[in-house]
Amino acid sequence: MKISHNETIHLGASEDISYIRQKVRKWMVELRFSLVEQTKIVTAASELARNTIEHGGGGRAQLIVLTDNGRTGLQLIFEDNGPGIPDLELALEDGYSTGSGLGLGLSGSKRLVDEFDLKSKPDKGTCITITKWRLN
């Protein structure tokens, strides 16, 4: 797997969610992803950026363009140093929320992408990696 481009974005305030949405959409257009694929990953990025800010106290997102055996993908890594997620299995269930939301952020994001990896440790933070591959 080869990385051809990457950028790190600071996530600390609600306006950063709009910025990452715009940046992800721009990269997806440049990589010639379909409108449906663009919408899916932009939606997932928005949810995960919001979680990073609201539940993780802020952090960073890394955007990475991948190529692998002729495929092109966009990988996003969201990291924070917040309180972590005590029960990963429960957090991925539809309807589970520690806030006032519908509890579809993590589980919904997982359904919107091709690859989803969640790592979290209490008092150490959370790292979520998602990848969307372009359909040829």
Q: Where are the domains of the chain?
A: 2-133
pLDDT 10s digits, 45-104: 999 999 999 999 999 999 999 999 889 999 999 999 999 988 777 777 766 555 544 334
Q: Is the model's pTM score more than 0.75?
A: yes
Question: What gap in Å lies between CA 117 and CA 119, rounded to an integer?
Answer: 7
Q: Mean per-residue pLDDT for 124-134?
A: 96
> Which of helix, strand or coil describes residue 71?
strand
CATH superfamily ID and name for 2-133: Histidine kinase-like ATPase, C-terminal domain (3.30.565.10)
Q: What percent of the chain has a predicted confidence (pLDDT) above 70?
A: 91
| Per-residue pLDDT, 102 | 39
- Of 36, 66, 61, the residue nearest 47 (C-alpha): 61
Asked whether the predicted pLDDT for residue 119 surpasses 60, the reply is yes
Residue 90 has what pLDDT?
75
Q: Can you tell me the distance from the alpha carbon of 93 to that of 116, in angstroms, rounded to the nearest whole number?
A: 14
